[in-house]
Structure 1
Amino acid sequence: MGNKINPLGFRLGFTQNHYSLWFEEGDYSEDLREDERIYNCIENYVKYIKSSINSSYGGITRIEILKQTKLISVNIYIAFVDLFIDKKAPRKEEKMKELRKEVQKMLVQSMLNSVNRELVISIEKVDTPYREPKIIAEYIALQLKERVEIRKIMKKAIQLAEKANVEGVKIKIKGRLNGIERARKESAMKGRVPLQTLRAKIDYCYYAVQTVYGVLGIKIWIFV
């Protein structure tokens, strides 16, 4: 039997870099849990902002964490910066302070050594959102919740990726599609997606969405 491998992990050291950079001599698992708490804290905070302004997208494409002896640096790559950055600078600073405060509070509650480190959070804008598989997945998830027809959703998602000048895109959705009794899968592909070529820059995302029919799994591969 064949085993499937994560396309991002498969290309580490070739076309992909680690999103979390730190060194730990002994308690590796504790640092790993700390990373997860930071990710979850930021994701939950963005969901809170999203709900307060009635936005459909979270827009975070990735979060990079760099840990040093006296510093934790967190870079948030976000497609729709309006969630954080307003035209008025004080508003932007207010949101940044609130985010920093939330992450720091989470670290204190976790009773980790990181509370003694300085926390630096920066936000980078992603210029072409629909080259990012997570943004495509969020779009598909939104359409699935609104019960749009599956083929129509995938066709539109591929068009959005094509407009972002990608080399190829592959979409796979699995679950009780359109409310049928048994789970099935639907897939669509446009262009080239060479999954077995290490030098090919492949971005990948798995996204689970809760619908009235149950949980649906969305997988996106983009050859950039």
Structure 2
Amino acid sequence: MGQKVNPIGFRTGIMLGWKSRWYASKKEFADLLMEDQKIRKFVHTKYKFAGIPKVEIERTRDEVKVILHAARPGVIIGRKGQEVEQLQDELQKLVGRRINIKIEEVNRPELQAQLVAEDIGEQLSKRASFRRTMKRSVEQTMEAGAKGIKVQLAGRLGGSEMARREKQIAGSIPLSTLRANIDYGITEAMTAQGHIGIQVWINQGMFEDQTDGADAQEGQAQKKPKRAYKR
């Protein structure tokens, strides 16, 4: 089942939190969901080269808090924060609510599957060799400390007449293991021969155990009860 399901959606609510965190009644839910989609689409379209793998949205009664995770936050902030203020005004006009923007920097873009996929797509659009591009991305991600990576391309690779699928794997990618922190990214590269679909899976390691370990200290673990025998 792990191969058929989006790895992030597979773990959401179990090991991962939701990207939209708010509560609404049945009447308002659909409209607010569409608002979230509008915000995400607008941000990704306007700041395509800022490297934004994730947009989180929190709602209160008064305002909408938008958290942007960006590899290049300077592109969004601009000089003296002018770009942020402009983005805030544009989003407020788009949804008709008060917007509060927070920007968090992504320390290691090589470990973000969406950013790796977009980088591969950018190289393919410039007519780079797809095998060399895949190999370079795999090596950079593994050098950054990933436990494993899988890259899959589908389409008219290398300008061939027939579409086909190519993939490269390094390390381990346990898709069905919920404790494994698998990041997933998908995008399309626009080439002269047609669109090429790009999928990237990155194993960032195991999630830390959620238990506090108070009862599991050395020497305090509960012993197996002795078996009682009846005479």
TM-score (ref. length: structure 2) = 0.83
1:97 pairs with 2:85: yes
Offset, 1:12: 1.3
The one-letter code of the counterpart of 1:210 is M
Query: Which one-letter code corresponds to 1:34 in the other structure?
Result: E
Q: What SS does the aligned partner of 1:124 have? A: strand
Cα distance in structure 1, aligned partners of 2:84 and 2:77:
9
The alignment yields a C-alpha RMSD, in angstroms, of 1.7
Instruction: Tell me the secondary structure at the aligned position of residue 53 of structure 2.
Output: strand
Unaligned 5+ segments in structure 1 are 48-56, 109-114
- Residues 2 and 176 of structure 2 are in contact (CA less than 8 Å); yes or no, is this contact kept in structure 1? no
Give CA deviations for 1:52-95 in whole Å, capped at 9, x if unaligned: xxxxx330010000011112100000011231345xxxx24211
Structure 1 residue aligned with 2:122: 142
1:54 matched to which residue of 2?
Answer: none
- C-alpha deviation, 1:214, in angstroms: 1.0
> Runs in 1 of length 4+ with deviation above 2 angstroms?
none
| Runs (5+) with no aligned partner, structure 2 | 205-231
Task: Tell me by how many angstroms 1:105 deviates.
Answer: 1.4
The 3 A distance-change label for structure 1 pair 3 and 196 is closer
- SS at 2:26's partner residue? coil
What residue identity is the alignment partner of 2:161? E
1:50 alignment counterpart: none
Partner deviation per Cα, 1:115-158 (whole Å, 9 max, x = no partner): 3xx31001000111111011111110111011111110111001
Contact 2:51 2:72 in 1 (8 A): yes
Deviation at 1:3, TM superposition (A): 7.6
2:74 to 76, 82, 87: 82
C-alpha distance in 1 between matches for 2:111 and 2:100: 27
Does the CA-based 8 Å contact 1:41-1:102 persist in structure 2?
no
More helix by share: 1
- Max Rg structure: 2
Asked if structure 2 preserves the Cα contact closer than 8 Å seen for 1:74 and 1:120, the reply is: yes
Corresponding residue number in structure 1 for 2:132: 152
- Equivalent residue, structure 2, for 1:52: none
Alignment of 1:43 with 2:31, yes or no, is no
Q: Which deviates further from its counterpart, 189-198 or 36-45?
A: 36-45
Mapped contact 1:193–1:221 kept (Cα < 8 A): yes
- AA of the residue aligned to 1:96: V
Q: Tell me how far apart the structure 1 counterparts of residues 14 and 3 of structure 2 sit (CA, whole Å).
A: 21
Deviations 1:187-218 (A, max 9, x none): 00100110010110000011122211111110
Q: For 1:162-207, what per-residue CA distance to the aligned partner results, in whole angstroms no more than 9, with x for missing partners?
A: 1210100000000111111111011001001100101100000111
CA contact (8 A) 2:115 2:185 kept: no
Q: CA shift at 1:24, angstroms?
A: 1.4
SS across alignment from 2:178:
coil
Normalising by the residue count of structure 1, what TM-score does the alignment of the two structures yield?
0.86
